[in-house]
Amino acid sequence: MPLPTSRRQAALEDLRNRLAFITVAKGYNTDAGRHIFLGEAPRWGPDDPPAGLAIAIGDDSVQVQGGIITASIPLQVWAVVPVAAAEPLVAIEAIIADIKEAVEIERDGSVDRALGVLEGSTATEPRGLARGITRALRREEGSEYVGAAVEYVATLQEQWGGGGR
């Protein structure tokens, strides 16, 4: 993978890397992190892996002061996981917990409030990662899957004319 060329890209790739830790082998509840889609809305079929994640990037909101643009970017992490028909809530809460832990907690147990590294500093502001709303997507009748979404907002600063740096 090429090196990130902008703060946005560095933040997004770090988010994907953190979510990739969501595997049962690493102590999480699910293997959703084995299949992550960034910037697309996948539609899996019966022959595809049972669990997966998709990262949706929303429209940013910006503030401009002089030559500095401060952008807040909504990042939604969507998940689909299989469920035993009798316990959909357990499956929903398990994947929500997985996402929050993978994104917000470092391997040493400390919390992390930034995303990505570019040119020796965090790609977002040092405390530029915030959590938004959490959605629980219930099981429909006849379905073997549930879903969830956790929204984050990444705030970063770019120089006007800096190509996203």
Which residues would be at the binding site for other proteins (CB under 8 A)? 37, 41-46, 48, 52-54, 56, 76, 78-80, 84-85, 135, 137-147, 149
Minimum distance, C-beta of residue 41 to other proteins, in the bound complex (Å): 5
**Between 81 and 123, whose beta carbon lies closer to other proteins?**
81
Helix axes 7-19, 88-104, angle to 10 degrees: 130
**Between 55 and 118, whose beta carbon lies closer to other proteins?**
55
Cα separation, 13 vs 1, in Å, equals 10
**Between 18 and 139, whose beta carbon lies closer to other proteins?**
139
Answer for the pair 149, 54: CB distance below 8 angstroms, yes or no: no
Token pair 């959490």 in the structure block, residue:
134
Residue 79, H or E segment: strand 68-82
Q: Provide the 3-class DSSP secondary structure of residue 15.
A: helix
Minimum distance, C-beta of residue 66 to other proteins, in the bound complex (Å): 36
**Between 118 and 148, whose beta carbon lies closer to other proteins?**
148
Minimum distance, C-beta of residue 47 to other proteins, in the bound complex (Å): 11
Would you give the DSSP letter of residue 80? E
Minimum distance, C-beta of residue 86 to other proteins, in the bound complex (Å): 9
Cα separation, 77 vs 147, in Å, equals 11
